Structure 1
């Protein structure tokens, strides 16, 4: 998973400071214990640790009195997903889905300063693989279920909590746990979903909150493989037809192409809101583009800012190269992998055709890898916006709340494609430069972790109806 909140912002305009965490409540103590335990599971692909983690979570739920008929497991190869249902009193009302993923990108302990599979609290942060992506979300779901169970809360709407086992690797697989969840009778036909795996607030360098972002759309993730083939030969007899040179020229041509600027209501709202709290020329360009997407100067300026370029156009970038089979032989094959993040409304076929045109070499094939798919935009509904805003303003009064387009990919893509409008909101505030999901020293502010717990609980109560 990648979060599009790495925004280069200088001085904050907001005046609200982060309050000091009060003495912990019993539910916070319990959540911290669960957090500490789930971080120890190395739930990356090939490790086989998702099933043991699910067994642990199921045990906690059963000990709390959640009945077996409200828990279902969805196996897939070495991993597994889990659904937990909190039945509502309105039987004819559509259910509401809450989602988090349990798997993580692998972390090699020898590369980290701290053990990535041990929760370490240090200098106001929780460190460990998955602390923010997305075991914090897993704990938020667990905490919400346990709090509602202990308080005897019976919502009007049935709430279904999904624990996904392969978000990092299985989004485009027909039997992935997310797709199993979307097709399950408890979930199919859900009115909407709340995804904990994206969305969040930005903190300025001085720790003040600046803006809160709600993910309402995601770009299509598609990978293309470019291949040049040749009969090869001896390296002592070089020729002008060389597969490596041909693939190099093809990649260079792709690098030279810039997809046209695009926008929709969601991205204009997002860029305009972020522009208001971004000082200097960058903020001006964001506001200009939001006001007039035909402003080519603003679009060109934004294209030079990696944090925002993905919000204004389709992007394709070479990520891998491979070629040749021996140091003393002319290459018989060379390949380049090009990863594209495609703006909503643009088809995968159109991007493939554009890449083929840009390569301009009939000897090079351009093939789509896997089975990528596009998902629609979920326009932020007034009732969803109101519930999220009310929750955020409990802790950060007055902070602006705006939807945004995710340049990466999450389970929300699958839910939206299945006809379930989805909004991602974690309740977590963090400085952009401290976002280390998928990287070394992944961390989350301690205060933000506990805020995230309350945020998801707030939404479950407000949207489920108590």
Structure 2
């Protein structure tokens, strides 16, 4: 990939026969086959409570076999003692065995969803008013289906890649407790040869929906924050509720949480977040856009930082954030509380540590009777930010210009975290691929009525196919 300029545009022209019709008929035969795969994957419950990732992986493997993959190309793995936590690694061999492989990584598990809370059955794919609704319709089964579909289309067309391409569909990415096994982490620790690659594409990119539909911007995720959890704990001797005491454990914890709610970490930018502020800010024609550009030039500009921070979607880009997410306390309705706890979820900016974050929480609480403890929840490795590599970013942008004329592709930093954190242990630079744009305010990701527009799904599918094809050839 060292010499991309001469061949880039020629290759883009060759692999984009579908771009002109990307906004046309939605019932192309290849889309019908893709929709079937997508529907089956979405409607297979893969929650940690009752779902079955192994079943979903087997379903995708069956479709790959039908397309022409052999058992030697497919590895269905099931960790010991975890019959529902299986996954799939599929290998599409390239002509040059010395060329580092490309890894396509997606998780097939989803967040819990209660039918009584949703407008529609969360495990039935419903297309309505231009949107697909279901748990996992976006996160992350859209991308898992697209990656799987890409390999199927290659095999059916007789495509001959130069580099080997690997597809890893894993379980446990959405896990938030010690009972959940992360499949990407398991592969890295137990079967690293299956996912070893020169670079990888993963979730986390996407883009933002424009007011009139379609993408406003497209993002390639390069950097991400590290999630770390802390517990606040207050203990007390308790007593009978008929004899209230000023030193009540619940009141003390409530006071501590109020202080945590005021905690604002300092601005901490890096090359990725700086690039995003400069490029995305220049596209906005409002005061926040101007402040974004100014902050990219002068990170110490307090006025610009305050204005950018007022946008809830931009504030996490600037700094570490911490928020209370769970609370538990007391043992009886007629007794004074003896122990109360609260969970604090922090998303730590690159370059900062959990110890620094813990110290900041303790400082703002300033109460020695409130213990700040590291959570026992299994923690991801700290993410390693890959380089802003032109050999990766320029082709992604050039192909994007063909599919989405006039829409910029901007490097982004995720406020969350993905399984790229585990690939960092193998020194695999991992980028969140753009294409599947959404509106954060209505997407329902991890929440109610999750959805993705059919326009984003189908056009994103064609774009991602062409991006993967380009890198398979270079």
After TM superposition, the score normalised by the length of structure 1 is 0.91
Partner of 1:227: 233
Change (3 A) 1:247 1:185: closer
1:162 aligns with 2:168: yes
- Per the TM alignment, residue 189 of structure 1 is displaced from its structure 2 partner at its CA by 4.0
Q: Following the alignment from structure 2 to structure 1, what is the Cα–Cα distance between the partners of residues 335 and 448?
A: 39
1:124 aligns with 2:130: yes
Partner of 2:249: 243
Contact 1:205–1:431 under 8 Å retained in 2: no
Corresponding residue to 1:202 among 196, 208, 211: 208
The answer to which of 250-259 and 289-298 deviates more is 250-259
Q: Following the alignment from structure 1 to structure 2, what is the Cα–Cα distance between the partners of residues 449 and 342?
A: 31
Contact 1:95–1:186 under 8 Å retained in 2: no
Q: Following the alignment from structure 1 to structure 2, what is the Cα–Cα distance between the partners of residues 166 and 175?
A: 5
Change (3 A) 1:180 1:128: same
Partner of 1:75: 78
Contact 1:266–1:379 under 8 Å retained in 2: no
Q: Following the alignment from structure 1 to structure 2, what is the Cα–Cα distance between the partners of residues 54 and 189?
A: 20
Change (3 A) 1:250 1:401: same
Corresponding residue to 2:45 among 35, 42, 46: 42
Q: Secondary structure at the match of 2:37?
A: helix
Partner of 1:22: 25
Corresponding residue to 2:294 among 263, 288, 291: 288
Q: Following the alignment from structure 1 to structure 2, what is the Cα–Cα distance between the partners of residues 28 and 18?
A: 12
Partner of 1:410: 418
Corresponding residue to 1:66 among 69, 78, 81: 69
- Per the TM alignment, residue 193 of structure 1 is displaced from its structure 2 partner at its CA by 0.7
Change (3 A) 1:460 1:137: same
Partner of 2:148: 142
Partner of 1:401: 409
Contact 1:162–1:181 under 8 Å retained in 2: no
1:260 aligns with 2:266: yes
1:440 aligns with 2:451: no
- The CA RMSD measured in Å over matched residues stands at 2.1
Partner of 2:3: none
Contact 2:208–2:437 under 8 Å retained in 1: yes
1:190 aligns with 2:164: no
Q: Once the two structures are superposed, what CA deviation does each residue of 1:42-101 show, in whole Å capped at 9, x if it has no partner?
A: 111121321221221111111111010111122231211110001111112221110111
Partner of 1:153: 159
Instruction: Extract unaligned runs of 5+ from structure 2.
Output: 1-19
Contact 1:243–1:333 under 8 Å retained in 2: yes
Q: Following the alignment from structure 1 to structure 2, what is the Cα–Cα distance between the partners of residues 171 and 420?
A: 26
1:338 aligns with 2:341: no
Q: Following the alignment from structure 2 to structure 1, what is the Cα–Cα distance between the partners of residues 183 and 437?
A: 28
The answer to which of 45-54 and 35-44 deviates more is 45-54
Q: Following the alignment from structure 1 to structure 2, what is the Cα–Cα distance between the partners of residues 368 and 274?
A: 36
Q: Counterparts in 2 of 1:169-184, with a 5 A limit?
A: 169=175, 176-183=182-189, 184=191
Q: Following the alignment from structure 2 to structure 1, what is the Cα–Cα distance between the partners of residues 397 and 437?
A: 14
Q: Once the two structures are superposed, what CA deviation does each residue of 1:252-295 show, in whole Å capped at 9, x if it has no partner?
A: 22222211111011101101222122232221221211121110
Instruction: Extract unaligned runs of 5+ from structure 1.
Output: 1-16
Partner of 1:55: 58
Q: Following the alignment from structure 2 to structure 1, what is the Cα–Cα distance between the partners of residues 121 and 36?
A: 17
Contact 1:18–1:209 under 8 Å retained in 2: no
Partner of 2:397: 389
Q: Secondary structure at the match of 1:427?
A: strand
Corresponding residue to 1:430 among 438, 444, 466: 438
1:306 aligns with 2:309: no
After TM superposition, the score normalised by the length of structure 2 is 0.90
- Per the TM alignment, residue 438 of structure 1 is displaced from its structure 2 partner at its CA by 1.7
Q: Counterparts in 2 of 1:359-374, with a 5 A limit?
A: 359-369=365-375, 370-372=377-379, 373-374=381-382
Partner of 2:13: none
